[in-house]
Amino acid sequence: MPRETRHNVHMDLPLSTPHASRLLWMPEVGSTNSQLVQYLSGDESHAWPHLSVIATDNQTRGKGRLGRDWTAPAGASLAISVAIRPVTPSGRPLKPEALGWLGLLAGLAMARACTAVLPAEGSAKVKWPNDVLIGQRKVCGVLSELVMTPQGPAVVVGAGVNVSLAEHQLPVPTATSLALEGSDDHSVDAILAAYLVHFSRIVGVFLAAEGDVVGSGLRDAVQESCDTIGRSVRVEMPAGDSVVGTAVGIADSGAIVINLADSAETVEVAAGDVTHLRVIMDGA
């Protein structure tokens, strides 16, 4: 059984604890997402309310999208999963098509949390659909999973952030960490708290607006923080085909809008249909 004592939670994570309805810190876990999915779908689901959180700095079998792995050395990164029970403040369920936004909103929250600990000239940006970048390197990946619970559908929103990895610890050359980007605050509690503050506030706006990302201004906020917009991109699909063009915006549905390179046509591509979105750098 994981340790979860009041003492443990309050002594170790005093900044984060007030921003979760329940916070379970696990010294080690395979996947925080899988663990929270298991709890939410089980008999004790009611004990994991909206904004319950599982976090660790030692995730041993982290999941990426499409069966890919998320890897990080113990003690140098943070894996966070947040339970979202998608109902409006008046208790009405959100329309299912709005739920796809939660990953982008988590990216926005993490981009803000990371930017706050970077030197003044540094900033973290969202890469559509599920990464947070500093420069062109990935500091965080987001994975959302829908789970059926006895109380209705819920979404587990997972985020992995590279906190204090040194260059030789990076799992892939395209990765970076907050420490490598000059952050002087490597406190897991401070970063977790900053993320939870931003994410809970953003999700609160989203649910109060009944998922209306346009009226609430959330779509604009994501677009402003989105490094992908304005870039030349190649969007790779599961069947092996790809679309090349310029990313010009994010549609109401959360799809990316691409002006095709070889015609005047515009297409919208949904996150679920994308294997990779690669930025085509100038001259590449």
- For ligand BT5, the nearest residue by Cβ is 141
CA distance 179 to 185: 8
- Phi, psi (deg, nearest 5) at residue 30: -60, -60
Determine if 10 is a binding residue for ligand BT5 (CB under 6 A).
no
**DSSP 3-state of 243:** strand
Query: Which one among 115, 130, 164, 200 touches ligand BT5, defined by CB under 6 A?
Result: 130
CA distance 237 to 262: 18
- Phi, psi (deg, nearest 5) at residue 189: -65, -40
Query: Which one among 31, 123, 183, 225 touches ligand BT5, defined by CB under 6 A?
Result: 31
DSSP state, residue 179: T
**DSSP 3-state of 121:** coil
Determine if 275 is a binding residue for ligand BT5 (CB under 6 A).
no
Contact set for ligand BT5, span 53-92 (CB under 6 A) = 59, 62-66, 68-72, 79-81
We find the least distance from the C-beta atom of residue 149 to ligand BT5, in angstroms, to be 18
We find the least distance from the C-beta atom of residue 88 to ligand BT5, in angstroms, to be 26
Determine if 109 is a binding residue for ligand BT5 (CB under 6 A).
no
- Could you tell me if 26 and 2 are in contact, meaning their C-beta atoms sit under 8 angstroms apart? yes
We find the least distance from the C-beta atom of residue 161 to ligand BT5, in angstroms, to be 8
CA distances, 88 to each of 39, 84, 101, 208, 219 (Å): 23, 11, 15, 6, 18
45/144 with CB nearer ligand BT5: 144
Determine if 249 is a binding residue for ligand BT5 (CB under 6 A).
no
CA-based max dimension of the chain: 62
> Footprint of ligand BT5 on this chain (CB under 6 A)?
31-33, 59, 62-66, 68-72, 79-81, 130-131, 138, 141-143, 158-160, 162, 171-172, 175
